[in-house]
Each structure stands twice: as C-alpha cells, then as structure tokens.
C-alpha cells in the first residue's frame, strides 16, 4: 500500500483549515525569493589526516548551496523493518567502550528475531552515544559521541555487520561548537548537526553546523558562528531541529548547556527558549520563552504538506507544547497542548505517519515516581488531543515507530549521569535495561506490550567484560527508513 502525504491531507481536518486560509505556501517561499537570500557555494578544504581510514581514499567534502526549492515530498512506502540499530552506553564503565547493537526485527527470521546479532564496539571509551542518523543516501550511519565530540562514520555495505569506516575528532577545534546531537540528512548530500554548546567557559551558546555526509567533517556554520553574543544573536540553546522547506521554517529546541546536563540530574539547569528560523536565510526570527526550566527536546512537525503545526516535549515542566501559524504571517504561536500529571517526565514524542496519533514516552510517569509509561494520544484535531491508550513500563525512553504505524520499539536509557541515580530522592532509576516492542492498533486506537519481544541488555557481553548497557536511540535498517530529514 502506497502512502503519500497527499492522502494524509484528506484525513487530517487541519488540512482543510489550512486550505481555506490559503496557507499551502507562505509568502516567504514564493518564486519571488531573491538569490541574495539563498546559500552560495562554500568550499571545504577536504584535508584532514583524521579521515584516513583502512577502507580507501575519502571523498572530497564540499558544502554546496542548499536548494530548498527542489525538495519534494517523498512517498512513504511501508517496509517491514528487519534490523534495529541501537546505540548503547556503558554508564561510565571505564573498562568498555559504548556500542552499536544490531538486533533482529524480522518475524520471518526466527533465528535472529529479538536477538543481538552483531555488536560494534566504539574504538574509544567515554563517547556517550546518544542520537545518531543516516547520511543522505542511507549508506552510512553518522554516530556522534555526545561527550567526546567524535564523529564515527559507520559503513552499512553489509547491514548486519556494520563497521567503522572513519573517525573525525576535530569537530570542536574546527567549529567552535561542542556536544553533537541531532543528525539530519540535507538535500545537498551533507548532514545538519545540532550542537548543544560551544567551546567557551560557560559552554554557551548552542548552534547548528553542516558536515560532510561521507566523513562527518565540519564544513560551515548553519546560521551564526559559535563566537557571538547569544543574548543578542540567537539561538542560545540547542537540542533538536526540524524543518519544513515548503514553509521556509525550522524549529530548534533547548535541553540545556553542556555544563548543566553532563553531570547528575539538574532540573534548574534546563533551558526555556525555543527558536523559529527562516530556513533559507539560516537566521533565527523568533525566540520564544516557554515554562521555566522546561528543557524542550524533540521537534515534531505534522507530516502533512504545508501544515504549520508541530509539537515538542518539555520534561522539566511535564508538558507537551504546540506551535502553529494559522494566519500565515510566518511567525508562530506557542501554547501548552497537553499538561501531564505530576511526576511525568516526557523524554520523547513522535507522530504516526498520517498525523493521527502522538506518542509520548514518560521516563517517569504519572501516579508515582517509578511509574513510567508510553501513551497514545489522538491528535486528528491537533487543538483537541485526547488520551487513547497507555502502556506502563518504567524508564521509557526513545521510541521508533514502524512505517505502517503498527509496531513501536523503545529503549530505557537517558544519559550515563542520569541513569542509575536517585530521582526523586530515595528512588533509584533504571534497575534494568533492554529494548521492548509495543503492538499498535492504528485503525481503532490501542496499544499492547509484546511479551515475546524483549532484548535484555542488563547483562551482556561487552568488549572486555559482561555487564549492563543502556539503550537509547533506535534506527531501522536503510530499507525501512525514509529519506530526507527523517531523524
């Protein structure tokens, strides 16, 4: 069954509202846009001794003009995921590096289904594998070390046995930024990387850069450079990014500066600002304050073409925030869409591909400090969300939803300094680790934990010893992953 965003447009009521308002395209993206507002070619030097690997000569790195006008909606064809790529951390283990686990997810291959079929050890200890992503053609994974700032390029020529092709470790020196986070493929073949902070005494500000999609090498700043007065030139904070080329807009979020989030849990260190960007000019045009110490995380635009609505999760204030621009002036209104119960800590959200459901992972949930859960909210009317179903599962973390919206996978590790600690006081976090699966009733609403799929990582073989490994980000194999800005 071929699913396209044009079909989604007929299913979601807000599409009719947008059509009625004539907002299919904002004025900022008309054919009258001047060439002066578009990116000109920037050359990278392509020289870096750190890129020389054992698998051939590295390609030249180059930043070319980002031609956002050529970006088109790509039909989403549901494909059964056969592999899960799971980044795992070692909780400060000084004897072992972090790992990329390859887990079987093909039910037609029972010998591998729900088992670890390959372990890729990082070459160094202390990377803090967190978020990662594909290069533009999905031939490689770009896996940053959040705390080490190393960029690992993982070759997927054999999807079941990925290997490290090269490592780029001059990111901080070359860019002035630190703590690489989100990895997003760009239309010119390179990748956008969000950077939580800068190489300054305060570790502020955060920013965005463009890197070579083949090597991870820094090419240029996407937006303002690290050396700036961030109180005058935004953004101040950085975590996630999500863009809508047809609207000429990008949203970036917060979390906190590295000095405030790399140690133990520190709610007062979470930021409170969300930035709205002119995508083509690579310039922040709005800096919006939300709840204090809210620490907004994921950027999830509605998938439907031209719809200026999206959501982010704020774990520090137990809220889901919404943005919208219904009058089409290019500036966004932010408001609380969902107020979660006391103790709720929403650390991830994602949307079904048809914008029918919003999924929320609460690392700590309502009703008690250990009662984590994953929730399914109906957002067919984005302004009137309502809870449909909930699966209780402690320490729920990053989720990944199958392209047919029927299977949801999740891990349960947040950060090495935040796992295995007391929060609130007297309550130990993460007494076990693993990857689980929830079966989704997408037609009628509903969720059920799959009792037959559980990959226990509480005690597994690592490079040198046996012990726990905390799973965070999950990606599917290339065949089951859409192109473009998917992250």
Sign of CA dihedral 25, 28, 32, 36: negative
pLDDT of 58 reads 55
pLDDT band at 422 (very low <50, low <70, confident <90, very high): confident
Q: How many CA atoms lie within 13 A of 100 on its CB side?
A: 30
Among the residue ranges 1-15, 322-336, 436-450, the one predicted with the least confidence is 1-15
Among the residue ranges 48-57, 166-175, 418-427, the one predicted with the least confidence is 48-57
Give percent of the chain with pLDDT exceeding 90. 75
* Nearest partner of 475 among 414, 412, 402, 407, judged by Cα: 402
Tens-digit pLDDT profile for residues 131-190 = 999 998 999 999 999 999 999 999 999 999 999 999 999 999 999 999 999 999 999 999
Q: How many CA atoms lie within 13 A of 255 on its CB side?
A: 30
pLDDT of 54 reads 40
Task: Tell me the mean pLDDT in the region 399-418.
Answer: 96
Residues 6+ apart with CB under 8 A from 77: 2, 3, 403
pLDDT of 6 reads 28
Quickly list DSSP for 258-323: HHHHSSS--GGG---EEEEEETTTTEEEEEEE-STT------EE-SSTT--EEEEEETTTTEEEEE
pLDDT of 431 reads 78
Tens-digit pLDDT profile for residues 80-136 = 999 999 999 987 678 999 999 999 999 999 999 999 999 999 999 999 999 999 998
Task: Tell me the mean pLDDT in the region 346-374.
Answer: 91
pLDDT of 37 reads 35
pLDDT of 22 reads 37
**Mean per-residue pLDDT of the chain:** 88
- How many other C-beta atoms lie within 10 A of the C-beta of residue 96? 19
Task: Tell me the mean pLDDT in the region 263-274.
Answer: 94
- How many other C-beta atoms lie within 10 A of the C-beta of residue 90? 25
Flag whether pLDDT at 217 surpasses 80.
yes
Cα–Cα dist 83/104, whole Å: 5
Write down the H helix ranges in 129-194.
Answer: 171-175
3-class DSSP state for residue 18?
Answer: helix
- How many other C-beta atoms lie within 10 A of the C-beta of residue 264? 11
pLDDT of 487 reads 87
């Amino acid at each position: 069954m071929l699913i396209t965003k044009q079909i989604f447009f007929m299913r979601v009521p807000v599409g009719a509202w947008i059509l009625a308002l004539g907002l299919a395209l904002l004025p900022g993206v008309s054919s009258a846009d001047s060439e002066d507002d578009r990116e000109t070619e920037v050359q990278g030097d392509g020289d870096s001794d750190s890129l020389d690997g054992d698998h051939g000569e590295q390609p030249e790195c180059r930043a070319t003009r980002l031609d956002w006008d050529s970006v088109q909606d790509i039909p989403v064809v549901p494909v059964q995921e056969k592999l899960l790529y799971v980044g795992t951390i070692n909780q400060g283990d000084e004897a072992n590096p972090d790992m990329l686990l390859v887990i079987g997810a093909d039910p037609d291959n029972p010998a591998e289904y729900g088992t670890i079929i390959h372990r890729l050890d990082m070459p160094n200890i202390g990377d803090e594998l967190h978020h990662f992503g594909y290069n533009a053609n999905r031939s490689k994974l770009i896996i940053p070390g959040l705390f080490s700032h190393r960029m690992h390029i993982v070759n997927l020529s054999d999807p079941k046995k990925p290997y490290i092709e090269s490592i780029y470790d001059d990111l901080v020196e070359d860019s002035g930024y630190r703590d690489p986070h989100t990895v997003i493929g760009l239309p010119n073949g390179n990748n956008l990387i969000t950077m939580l902070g800068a190489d300054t005494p305060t570790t502020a500000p955060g920013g965005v850069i463009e890197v070579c999609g083949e090597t991870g090498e820094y090419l240029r700043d996407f937006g303002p450079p690290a050396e700036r007065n961030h109180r005058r030139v935004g953004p101040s904070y950085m975590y996630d990014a999500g863009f809508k080329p047809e609207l000429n807009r990008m949203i970036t979020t917060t979390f906190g500066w590295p000095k405030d989030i790399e140690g133990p849990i520190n709610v007062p260190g979470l930021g409170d600002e969300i930035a709205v960007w002119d995508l083509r000019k690579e310039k922040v045009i709005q800096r919006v304050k939300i709840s204090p110490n809210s620490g907004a995380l994921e950027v999830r635009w509605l998938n439907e073409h031209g719809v200026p609505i999206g959501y982010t999760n704020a774990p520090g204030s137990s809220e889901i925030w919404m943005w919208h621009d219904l009058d089409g002036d290019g500036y966004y209104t932010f408001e609380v869409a969902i107020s979660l119960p006391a103790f709720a800590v929403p650390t991830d959200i994602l949307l079904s591909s048809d914008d029918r459901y919003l999924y929320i992972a609460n690392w700590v949930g309502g009703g008690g400090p250990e009662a984590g859960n994953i929730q399914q909210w109906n957002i067919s009317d984005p302004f009137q969300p309502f809870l449909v179903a909930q699966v209780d599962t402690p320490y729920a973390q990053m989720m990944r939803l199958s392209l047919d919206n029927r299977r949801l996978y999740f891990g349960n590790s947040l950060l090495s300094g935040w796992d295995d600690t007391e929060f609130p006081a007297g309550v130990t976090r993460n007494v076990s680790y693993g990857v689980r699966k929830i079966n989704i009733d997408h037609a009628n609403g509903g969720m059920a934990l799959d009792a037959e799929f559980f990959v226990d990582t509480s005690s597994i073989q690592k490079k040198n010893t046996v012990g726990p490994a905390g799973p965070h980000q999950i990606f599917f194999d290339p065949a089951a992953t859409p192109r473009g800005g998917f992250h």
